[in-house]
Amino acid sequence: MKPQFQPLFEPFTFANGMSVHNRIVMAPMTTCSSNPDGTVPDDELAYYSRRSAGPGIVVTACVYVSRNGKGFPGEFGADTDEMIPSLKRLADAIKSRGAKAILQIFHGGRSCFPGLVPNDELVSASSIAQQEDGIVPRELTEEEIKSIIADFGEATRRAIEAGFDGVEIHGANGYLLQQFYSPASNVRTDDWGGSVHKRLAFPLYVVEAVKKAAAMAPQPFLVGYRFSPEEPEEEGLTMEHSYHLVNALIEMKLDYLHVSLNDFWSKPRRGEQDSQSRMAWFVEKYSEHIPFIGVGGLTTAEEALEAKNSGVPFIALGRELIMDPDWTEKIKQGNEQDIVTTLSKQDQERLVIPNGLWGAITHAPGWFPITE
């Protein structure tokens, strides 16, 4: 390995005592490949196993914690105890290759596909449709809110029983936790909406339930939180809102925060100066209090190193680890020039990509750079 890349391979020990052997994270990516009953199939296990020998941490695709929270076709589940054996197979496949296995837990809210949830009924913080589909969700009752909070705790218990090393709460990308926090999607007037403090109630109660369950783990167990720092709508979340969220999450003593970005170097829209990137602002304000995972369009060893040297402890790679599962090993061997940053239409079998994900890749022009 060339000496300049050593920072990517430094070990790290979290505050709870868990250690990882490098600073590379496999980002959570929806694979759309589960069995119809929500269990993990053999080809998806092979996909994760193929990519778990290099990163220090692998964060799985999101799993739904409630039956009415299933967001995608082919999403695997953690909503019942019957899912534990399936989840154990996944945790074992990742950990057997050397990575720490983190289960991302999720409720899609109004972003779910109607045909995947009971009675085709979408639910959310308020009866406000998202712009993409115009479907008006039903506003959750307080009893239902408390039930979903409990579901996050139960999914965490199942993750522990399945042998995972931690969970990542999915509070990003416009899903239910973000729907409660955003003033664009939460116009409630009860204890679950209105002020910033009240809109934060649901995400923070979810964190509390997850941490309570995590405390029962027999060994150190990570609890992270993924969030999107801004929303494009003028009335949506801004960087200032994200600062309120991060401050609250730090008070909850989470193990890490994962900033969901399409472009690692993107600059703020609203609520902060655009003199530097969003990630730079988070690092400047909070790096002494909690470790961050940064993500967004990084492909080469040089790009990942530049991002790491900006002050972010962990660098997550998503599409790049699909295109080149040996990314980490090539850098360690001094062959970073051989890293592959495109796909060909003949690559599915060679790269061990399950059919659901391969279909999504090939039917979404521009998502991946695909050559003939």
Positions annotated as catalytic residues are 175
Helix (H, G, I), strand (E, B) or coil at 256: strand
Write down the H helix ranges in the chain. Answer: 42-50, 84-95, 142-162, 176-181, 196-199, 201-214, 239-251, 278-286, 301-309, 319-323, 327-332, 348-351, 355-362
Q: Which residue has the tokens 């307080």?
A: 142
C-alpha–C-alpha distance, residues 68 and 71, integer Å: 9
* Pairing relationship of beta strands 19-20 and 123-124 according to DSSP bridges: unpaired
Dist. CA 312–CA 310, nearest whole Å: 6
Q: Are strands 12-13 and 19-20 parallel, antiparallel or unpaired?
A: antiparallel
> Could you give the CA distance from residue 43 to residue 173 in angstroms, rounded to a whole number?
26
HSE of 310, CA atoms in CB hemisphere, 13 A: 24
